[in-house]
């Protein structure tokens, strides 16, 4: 008789298990594990297996430029290049082969078509004059739902479309930071000093009032003194994308989650949620860029609250599964509770003093289905659509193998070279992120246009 093997979790001997067990771990155990990881990490880095090497953006071919980036026919594109020898001419790998251009060259070509080409065509993307950049936060308190992927792809799509983009990484895990190859030595190269500056500025004003009342001022420690000297532009870094800059993150940024409540205890009047938006506005960042993308950690901590409160547009990635739908519902519940309690706290005093009440406002809030598998998830997605209505973006971002397959040091389909893939697979993978961007851009343009009309004195219904 053949013996059927039992599943692996039967017949485990408690004695053997006890014998193979290590002694209990204490706090020092973590230090030992950390030291082993550090050693391994350094070893991997010397073998070039780290993800922090200097990044370089690939070149773009005439085919890709005329198909995806500048809406002109290839023959016309070539003719314009011949007629304008001062324009970038690209490089060829073989004699008479395809011409390849760096992205800054593509941007120069686009600007040329924008000024010289047909006015009927959209060579440069719409941005109303005089209106500030829009801030976009991508958030959900669930991890692994596609926040960072969506945020990075939108930032890159917008850059390819000709917008000037700033990315701010609020997740101390630093995924966005490594996608853009930024080096962040410590918390001073993250948003931490900007939030510290906001608090220090509040404290100085508070101290002035104390002095006026004849009270002793609160001391500013070294951290706050140093933070007062830092401006946003000091910590913005260039990336391998000519029109994407970044404020990076690394583990020390997490310290903010402990520091911010301590500051708030010391100065109850400090509006901690306004830190990021105030500093970006004060430092002129909203004039330097067209779009600011915030990638947030999977938590509703103080950094996320700062990001959400700064945001004009809130995007909430969610997979078409029961668990993700359910937890996203609870995320919205937490958003309501958090921002409502801030409003209430502020408005009790405002009401007592007869001042105008404050309330938070977002131009648009959209959930986006990510990693969608139409063969398995159509029913679930349809139900989510029925319940969420217009809050759910009409476009579902497909699951695509391109993201996982894109080679080392390449984290997005826009950075991958299409020649490495089957053309259909590439076109489909790219199409799904192009559509995600198109849905976002429709929101963006609608919001900007509404504001432009309002600024001109036209009331929009």
Ligand X SMILES: Nc1ncnc2c1ncn2[C@@H]1O[C@H](COP(=O)(O)OP(=O)(O)O)[C@@H](O)[C@H]1O
Phi, psi for residue 402 in degrees, rounded to 5: -60, -35
Instruction: Answer whether 148's CB lies under 8 Å from 169's CB.
Output: no
Instruction: Answer whether 203's CB lies under 8 Å from 195's CB.
Output: no
Stretch that binds ligand X, among 69-77, 248-256, 373-381, 396-404 (CB under 6 A): 396-404
143 binds ligand X (CB under 6 A): yes
Among 65, 99, 101, 149, binds ligand X (CB under 6 A): 149
β-bridge partners, 107: none
Q: Hey, what are 214's tokens?
A: 């004849």
Helices (H), 182-321: 192-212, 222-227, 232-235, 256-266, 275-282, 285-288, 302-310
For the segment 48-67, give every residue that binds ligand X (CB under 6 A): none
CA dihedral sign of residues 415, 419, 420, 426: positive
Minimal distance in Å, beta carbon 119 to ligand X?
A: 37
Minimal distance in Å, beta carbon 331 to Mg ion?
A: 14
Which partner from the list ligand X, Mg ion, none does 99 bind, CB cut-off 5 to 8 Å by kind?
Answer: none
Instruction: Answer whether 230's CB lies under 8 Å from 194's CB.
Output: yes
148 binds Mg ion (CB under 5 A): yes
Which C-beta is closer to ligand X: that of 298 or that of 307? Answer: 298
Q: Is 329 helix (H, G, I), strand (E, B) or coil?
A: helix
> CB-hemisphere CA count at 13 Å for 305?
22
Which partner from the list ligand X, Mg ion, none does 399 bind, CB cut-off 5 to 8 Å by kind?
Answer: ligand X
| Cα distance from N-terminal residue to C-terminal residue, the chain | 80
Which C-beta is closer to ligand X: that of 309 or that of 436? Answer: 436
How many residues line the site for ligand X (CB under 6 A)? 16
For the segment 167-196, give every residue that binds Mg ion (CB under 5 A): 175
Which partner from the list Mg ion, ligand X, none does 293 bind, CB cut-off 5 to 8 Å by kind?
Answer: none
CA pair distance 419, 211, nearest whole angstrom: 68
421 binds ligand X (CB under 6 A): no
Instruction: Answer whether 350's CB lies under 8 Å from 356's CB.
Output: yes
217 binds ligand X (CB under 6 A): no
Minimal distance in Å, beta carbon 399 to ligand X?
A: 4
Which C-beta is closer to ligand X: that of 106 or that of 416? Answer: 416
Minimal distance in Å, beta carbon 248 to Mg ion?
A: 14
149 binds Mg ion (CB under 5 A): no
Minimal distance in Å, beta carbon 155 to ligand X?
A: 13
Q: How far is CA 392 from CA 58, 396, 398, in A?
A: 34, 9, 15
Among 147, 197, 366, 371, binds Mg ion (CB under 5 A): 147
CA pair distance 194, 279, nearest whole angstrom: 7
How many residues line the site for Mg ion (CB under 5 A)? 3
Q: What is the DSSP letter of 372?
A: B
Which C-beta is closer to Mg ion: that of 257 or that of 282? Answer: 257
Which partner from the list Mg ion, ligand X, none does 370 bind, CB cut-off 5 to 8 Å by kind?
Answer: ligand X
**Which candidate, 217, 215, 195, 193, places its Cα nearest to that of 204?**
217
148 binds ligand X (CB under 6 A): yes
For the segment 370-389, give every residue that binds ligand X (CB under 6 A): 370-371
168 binds ligand X (CB under 6 A): no
Phi, psi for residue 429 in degrees, rounded to 5: -60, -45
The residues of the shown chain that bind ligand X, judged by CB under 6 A, are 143-149, 175, 298, 370-371, 397, 399-400, 403-404
Q: Which residues bind Mg ion (CB under 5 A)?
A: 147-148, 175
């Amino acid at each position: 008789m053949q013996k059927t093997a039992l599943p692996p979790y039967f017949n485990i001997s408690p004695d053997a298990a006890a014998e193979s067990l290590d002694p209990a771990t204490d706090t020092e155990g973590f230090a030992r594990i950390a030291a082993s990881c550090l050693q391994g990490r350094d070893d991997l880095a010397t073998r070039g297996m780290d993800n922090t090497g200097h990044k370089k953006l690939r070149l773009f071919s005439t085919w890709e430029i005329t198909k995806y980036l500048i809406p002109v026919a290839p023959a016309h594109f070539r003719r314009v290049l011949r007629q304008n020898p001062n324009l970038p001419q690209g490089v060829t790998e073989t004699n008479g082969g395809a011409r390849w251009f760096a992205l800054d060259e593509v941007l120069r070509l686009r600007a040329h078509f924008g000024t010289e080409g047909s006015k009927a065509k959209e060579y440069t993307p719409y941005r109303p004059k005089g209106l500030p950049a829009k801030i976009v936060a991508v958030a959900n308190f669930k991890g692994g739902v596609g926040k960072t992927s969506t945020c990075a792809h939108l930032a890159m799509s917008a850059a390819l479309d000709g917008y000037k983009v700033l990315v701010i990484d609020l997740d101390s895990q630093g995924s966005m930071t490594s996608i853009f190859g930024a080096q962040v030595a410590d918390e001073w190269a993250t948003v931490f000093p900007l939030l510290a500056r906001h608090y220090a500025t509040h404290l100085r004003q508070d101290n002035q009032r104390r002095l006026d009342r004849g009270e002793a001022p609160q001391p500013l420690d070294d951290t706050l003194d140093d933070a007062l000297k830092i401006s946003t532009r000091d910590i913005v870094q260039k990336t391998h994308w000519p029109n994407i800059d970044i404020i990076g993150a690394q583990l020390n940024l997490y310290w903010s989650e402990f520091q911010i409540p301590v500051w708030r205890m010391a100065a109850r009047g400090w509006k901690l949620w306004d830190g990021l938006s105030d500093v970006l506005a004060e430092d002129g960042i909203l004039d330097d860029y067209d779009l600011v993308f915030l990638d947030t950690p999977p938590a509703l901590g103080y950094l996320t609250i700062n990001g959400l409160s700064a945001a004009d547009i809130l995007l909430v990635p969610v997979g078409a599964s029961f668990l993700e739908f359910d937890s996203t519902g609870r995320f919205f519940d937490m958003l309501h509770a958090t921002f409502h309690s801030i409003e209430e706290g502020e408005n009790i005093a405002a009401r007592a003093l007869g001042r105008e009440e404050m309330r938070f406002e977002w131009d648009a809030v959209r959930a986006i289905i990510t990693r969608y598998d139409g063969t398995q998830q159509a029913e679930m997605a349809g139900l989510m659509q029925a319940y969420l209505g217009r809050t759910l973006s009409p476009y579902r971002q497909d699951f695509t193998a391109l993201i996982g397959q894109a080679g080392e040091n390449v984290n997005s389909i826009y950075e991958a070279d299409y020649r490495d893939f089957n053309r259909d697979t590439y076109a489909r993978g790219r199409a799904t992120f192009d559509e995600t961007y198109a849905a976002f851009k429709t929101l963006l343009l609608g919001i900007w246009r509404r504001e432009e009309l309002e600024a001109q004195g036209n009331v929009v219904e």
